[in-house]
Amino acid sequence: MGKVKKKKNWYEYLWIATILYLTLGLFNILFAWLGLLCFFIPLIMSFTKKDKAYCNKYCGRGQLLELVGTKFSRNKPMPKFLKTKWFRYGFLIFFLTMFVNMLYVTYLVFNETTGLKEVITLMWTFKVPWRFNELTNVTPWIAQFAFGFYSMMLTSTILGFITMALYKPRSWCVYCPMGTMTQGVCIIKDKIK
């Protein structure tokens, strides 16, 4: 008898949402705002659900890395230092610092200290001019936040794909700031219990 194929759940297709998000951002930077969902949903779930429910089931990025990694990963073990608490929490702190800096830049545009910069900053260093859509009718700080947030999302995606190719498909999940943060919440919750 042939194997019965298990019907997939809707959430197993969330990797499509990740591709859609990254693609839409290319055409209209304002779609970057949708990325806030990937920020708040895991946090809310870490407070309300058991374990790392978001990572285990609903993270489109994790699924995408898994999927692409089946073909394009060397499947080698990661260097040990990437798995240490020091690195994971250090990277989280670095990421959050960059996030706060991005909010500060948005604030400077909001109070008109500086003007809107239509650039995407990759790996927190490389500035790529980004003029794919007309932003004259958009409130500058709204567009500035979108540029900043999309820069972070693209940077983390690039890092995810690099570590996917070099090591195991979901190597990014080992030091993903969102994963470290939600795991931290779960640990604190357990301790309080």
Site residues (vs ligand SF4, CB under 6 A): 42, 55, 59, 61-62, 172-173, 176, 178-179
Question: Least separation, in Å, of the C-beta of 83 and ligand SF4?
Answer: 13
Q: What three-state secondary structure class fits 114?
A: coil
Question: Least separation, in Å, of the C-beta of 189 and ligand SF4?
Answer: 17
Residue number with the shortest CB distance to ligand SF4?
179
What is the rounded CA–CA span in Å between residue 52 and residue 36? 19
What is the rounded CA–CA span in Å between residue 100 and residue 102? 5
Give DSSP secondary structure letters for 10-46. GGGGHHHHHHHHHHHHHH-GGGGGGGGHHHHHHHHHH
Q: CB nearer to ligand SF4: give 59 or 109.
A: 59
Q: CB nearer to ligand SF4: give 9 or 113.
A: 9
Region for residue 138 given its phi and psi (left: phi exceeds 0; alpha: psi -120 to 50; beta: otherwise):
beta
DSSP 8-state symbol, 180: H
Q: CB nearer to ligand SF4: give 105 or 160.
A: 160
Question: Least separation, in Å, of the C-beta of 17 and ligand SF4?
Answer: 12
Q: CB nearer to ligand SF4: give 25 or 62.
A: 62
Q: CB nearer to ligand SF4: give 55 or 143.
A: 55
Q: Which residues pair with 127 in a beta bridge?
A: 121
Question: Least separation, in Å, of the C-beta of 128 and ligand SF4?
Answer: 23
Measured CA distances, 160 to 24, 49, 96, 164 (Å): 19, 25, 17, 6
Question: Least separation, in Å, of the C-beta of 67 and ligand SF4?
Answer: 13
